[in-house]
Structure 1
Amino acid sequence: MSYDLRKSQKGKHTKTTGSVPTKRPNPFSHNMYKALPDQLTPSQRPGEPSQVSSPANTSVITPVNGTNTSTPDRTFQDQDFEQSKLDLFLTKKFEAMLERAVDRLAKKIEAVESLLGDSLEFERQRVNDLQVKQNHLETRIKNLEEEVAKNGAATNKSERFSRRNNIRLVGIDEYQQPTSLPADSASSSDSSSASEPHQEDCITLAEDKLRSFFGITSKVERAHRDGRKTNGRPRHILVKLLSYRDKVDVMKRARSVLKNQSFFIIDDLTSADLQEKRKWSKQVQALYAQGTKLRFYAGKWRLRGGDPFNFESSSDDTSRITTIGHAGVVF
């Protein structure tokens, strides 16, 4: 009977305690770590002791009838706590990664700035050197221009002096026979020269014009045609007189004496003087219509007394000058 009692008690105990309470899975176990290897803290990695309390410390309520039921609020709190820890871990990891990336980028920027600074300094020095060279070259060019202008003025002055006794006869047809020929020139013709084309004697022609219109009986040193041949326009006759006084007398009376003639006489000017004379031709004509007469010599339009006329002066000076009247002769 005792055996039956123990058997019945054993069966009763087995029936009462036969259902073993089921344990809640540990989120920090090795299986959980394998599932989320990057979401665990270093203290929860394999081979390291876990700092989480053992399942025995977890709150598990075992009812009398043998069923295992955990508290829902406590389970949700544990899940929220674990999720917060995971979010904090990921945030710190991302911040560390971002900080390292920013540090690398900052170092690269510093290297680029250093290289760029060196390049800028080199270019700045090169620009400064080029500026110094440019200033030197500009100064040298300016000096050379002044020297060229000075040499040009001296050359023009020398050329002007070499043309001091020269005049030009304009409008005389080429191969025109002079009005009076020397007796020896008429007697020197023969049968051989009659068949040849006649060569113009510019010296005799110039002497004849000067004697006929100006009463100058002095000889002409040299005379010849000058300039390029053009259709319908005879070339100038360049004449060099023996006396400068004869030239001055001819130039003063040329306008009035040759007023009704088919030719006229002008001064033999250099290229620079001719350009200067033509530059102010319209202004000279306007002043001449107002009663102011200018004379061009020595490279300038001049008033009576030899003072150069300033065409670029103010209107007050121009009005004052125009009241002088017949100050000279234009030729």
Structure 2
Amino acid sequence: MSGKETRKSAKETAKKSPQVSKKSNEKPAFTPPTLRHRAFSDVNGQDQILRDLKESMDLAFTEVNKKIDSMLLNQQSILPRISTLEDTQKGLEESYNFLSSAVDDLKAEQTKMESDITVLKKDLNSLRTSQNKLKLDYEEKLRSLTEAQLKAERYSRSFNLRFGGIPEKENEEAIQEVKRVLSDYLQMEPVIENAHRIGKRSTGKPRQIIAKLLYRPQRKEILLKCRRALQDSPYFITEDLTSEDFKKKASLRHVMSAAFQEGKRPRFVNGKLFINGELYVHEDSPLAPTA
């Protein structure tokens, strides 16, 4: 709408409006602004709004730019940190890969060691088995050799007798001293091959004499007679036992004494005790009967 048309419209509107009576004491009624004033006011308001809007947008853009600048600054400060973190991550990854490889190597080495240990255990068990077998064989051979040696020693001593209580003399002949005792107390003159004293000389009591007879039957006869014949004499005659048999007989002396008191006939032969012809077996012996 043009300015002329606006003014014409305003005049026509004023003509058509009713006349208002004027009273002296009444206030004039409110007259609304004309279209011209309203349009002018609207234009000014729109300009103000536009200015305010522009200022607001400028402020907003300024704040946004500040924030963008701040973000850019923060980004620039963060980038080195990110780079450092990336380097750290890379180093950690390399360390992890190295450790992982080392762990794999250790696992492989452990597996190999376990396999080697298994083989060694088998070899050790085999060696132990062989060692036990060798030990048993050695013990068996040693036992066999010991028995053979003991048997040979027993046979050699089976011709010997021990004479005790015979006083020692200067330049004596042991054979003659033995013959004198046998002749005087047993009325026997056996054939004696040799005789000699054993042990260290002592002032307390005379050393024993070991005499070797030529015939074992004569030796057996002497042993049967000597116990009663020498009962009231200072002399005694015993078998020449091995050290092992001597210890064993000493441990069975109380059994033999009890058998004598019961009227039985105990005999100790080759390391074994016989009572009335039956082998005596101690209750602790592995040969003892089980219940």
- Give the residue type in structure 2 aligned to 1:139: K
Match of 1:85 in 2: none
Tell whether the 8 Å contact from 1:207 to 1:219 is kept in structure 2 after alignment.
no
Is 2:247 the partner of 1:205? no
Shift of 1:34: 0.9
Tell whether the 8 Å contact from 2:165 to 2:206 is kept in structure 1 after alignment.
yes
Decide which structure has greater helix share: 2
- Which of 185, 190, 194 aligns to 1:218? It is 190
Is 2:148 the partner of 1:148? no
Gaps of 5+ in 1: 1-8, 43-89, 176-197, 319-331
- Which of 217, 239, 242 aligns to 1:267? It is 239
Provide the rounded CA distance (Å) in 1 between the counterparts of 2:161 and 2:227: 14
Distance 1:99 1:161, change over 3 A: same
Tell whether the 8 Å contact from 1:295 to 1:302 is kept in structure 2 after alignment.
yes
For 1:108-257, list aligned pairs within 5 A. 108-175=102-169, 198-257=170-229
Provide the rounded CA distance (Å) in 1 between the counterparts of 2:123 and 2:193: 62
Tell whether the 8 Å contact from 2:161 to 2:212 is kept in structure 1 after alignment.
yes
Provide the rounded CA distance (Å) in 2 between the counterparts of 1:283 and 1:124: 57
Provide the rounded CA distance (Å) in 2 between the counterparts of 1:265 and 1:290: 23
Match of 2:16 in 1: none
Number of aligned residues? 231
Match of 1:310 in 2: 281
TM-score, normalization: structure 1? 0.59
Shift of 1:266: 0.4
- Aligned residue for 1:206, secondary structure, equals helix
For 1:57-76, list aligned pairs within 5 A. none
- Aligned residue for 1:301, secondary structure, equals strand
Provide the rounded CA distance (Å) in 2 between the counterparts of 1:32 and 1:220: 128
Provide the rounded CA distance (Å) in 2 between the counterparts of 1:296 and 1:143: 31
- Aligned residue for 2:63, secondary structure, equals coil
Percent sequence identity over aligned pairs: 23
- Aligned residue for 1:238, secondary structure, equals strand
Provide the rounded CA distance (Å) in 1 between the counterparts of 2:190 and 2:63: 151
Shift of 1:97: 9.6
Provide the rounded CA distance (Å) in 2 between the counterparts of 1:126 and 1:313: 42
CA displacement, residues 6-26 of structure 1 (integer Å, 9 cap, x when unaligned)? xxx9xx99xx57954233222
Provide the rounded CA distance (Å) in 2 between the counterparts of 1:218 and 1:96: 111
RMSD: 3.7
Provide the rounded CA distance (Å) in 2 between the counterparts of 1:142 and 1:153: 16
Shift of 1:101: 7.1
Shift of 1:102: 6.6
Tell whether the 8 Å contact from 1:254 to 1:264 is kept in structure 2 after alignment.
yes
- Give the residue type in structure 1 aligned to 2:197: R
- Aligned residue for 1:36, secondary structure, equals helix
- Give the residue type in structure 2 aligned to 1:33: Q
Distance 1:99 1:280, change over 3 A: farther
Shift of 1:275: 2.9
Tell whether the 8 Å contact from 1:160 to 1:270 is kept in structure 2 after alignment.
yes
- Give the residue type in structure 2 aligned to 1:30: L
Match of 2:13 in 1: none
Provide the rounded CA distance (Å) in 1 between the counterparts of 2:273 and 2:161: 18
- Aligned residue for 1:23, secondary structure, equals helix
Distance 1:231 1:140, change over 3 A: farther
Return the index of the structure with the highest Cα Rg: 2
Match of 1:190 in 2: none
- Give the residue type in structure 1 aligned to 2:63: K
Provide the rounded CA distance (Å) in 2 between the counterparts of 1:108 and 1:218: 94
Gaps of 5+ in 2: 1-43
- Aligned residue for 2:227, secondary structure, equals helix
TM-score, normalization: structure 2? 0.66
Provide the rounded CA distance (Å) in 1 between the counterparts of 2:119 and 2:147: 42
Shift of 1:106: 4.9
